[in-house]
Amino acid sequence: MKIAVCVKLVPSTTARIQPGADGKALDLAGVEMVLSPYDGYALEEALKAREKLAGSTILAVSAGPAAASAALTQAYEVGADEALHVKAEGLDAAAAARCAAAVLKAEKPGLVFCGRQAIDDDQWLFPALLGELLDLPHVTAVSGFELAADGSSATCRRRVEGGEEVLAVKLPAVISCDKGLNEPRVPTLKGRLNAKKKQVASKTPAELGLSGADLMPALEIVSYAPPPEKSPGRIVEAPAAEAAAELAKWMRDEAKVI
């Protein structure tokens, strides 16, 4: 079986990110970029599926600027067989899904894994749109996945309020992966060395038959701004009874919460 996994390079969750000079983009100069954590769960589940289905191969796909190929290098380091980078600037989630779909329509994978969401834009759009574009069933936010021995179907579990939902899905299908699904493996030295021997293939959207209209963003960024600074805390230095009375007065007259 051909197994596909879609990955994205994003800023580290610990990075301090500031808006650019124009306020319409982010200044990522010097910011550490990493594989989106949810995509790490997707990649690990693809590896587990390959281990279960003898003869299977993994194709890692990413769409974005030149730097995005680093996500595919990480996929190689843990064992992906092939990697394809769709080179394009300024893609939003919808345009990236169209790029990935154009690749996967030709590859016809039996199983497609992707992260629940990318942690940079948090749009939650890519997996569902990819499923629609490929005309495949898709199960979102999967926290438990069991592949049938013959690779024809899978049982998915996902967390819902107050419990767990269990869904059966026939393959091929698109599965988006949530935290808790697995524990992503760490690249070994051998894996890193092997990755250096492999080349990340690349294509342009035009080579995939996509037009400029296909890449038009569905979301317009009007501006970015840092969150407002928090007001300093208020300390009431008085005996307990007086402090309580002053606090109650402040909550009623100024904060207007009582």
For residue 234, pLDDT beyond 80:
no
For residue 231, pLDDT beyond 80:
no
Of 124-128, 243-247, 253-257, the poorest mean pLDDT is in 253-257
pLDDT at position 116: 93
Q: What is the pTM of this model?
A: 0.84
pLDDT at position 201: 95
For residue 137, pLDDT beyond 90:
yes
For residue 108, pLDDT beyond 90:
yes
6-31 mean pLDDT: 86
Q: Which residue has the higher pLDDT, 82 or 223?
A: 82
pLDDT tens digits for 33-59?
899 999 999 999 999 999 999 999 999
Token code pair at residue 90: 């300024």
What does the mean pLDDT of the chain come to?
92
Domains along the chain with CATH numbers: 2-215 (3.40.50.620), 231-258 (no CATH)
Q: Which residue has the higher pLDDT, 63 or 18?
A: 63
Report residue 250's pLDDT band, with 50, 70 and 90 as the boundaries. confident
Name the residue among 128, 46, 143 with its Cα closest to residue 93: 128
| Contacts within 8 Å (CB) and 24+ apart, 144-153 | 144/181, 145/45, 145/175, 145/177, 145/181, 147/49, 147/52, 147/53, 147/111, 149/52, 151/1, 151/52, 151/53, 151/56, 151/110, 151/111
For residue 202, pLDDT beyond 90:
yes
192-216 mean pLDDT: 93
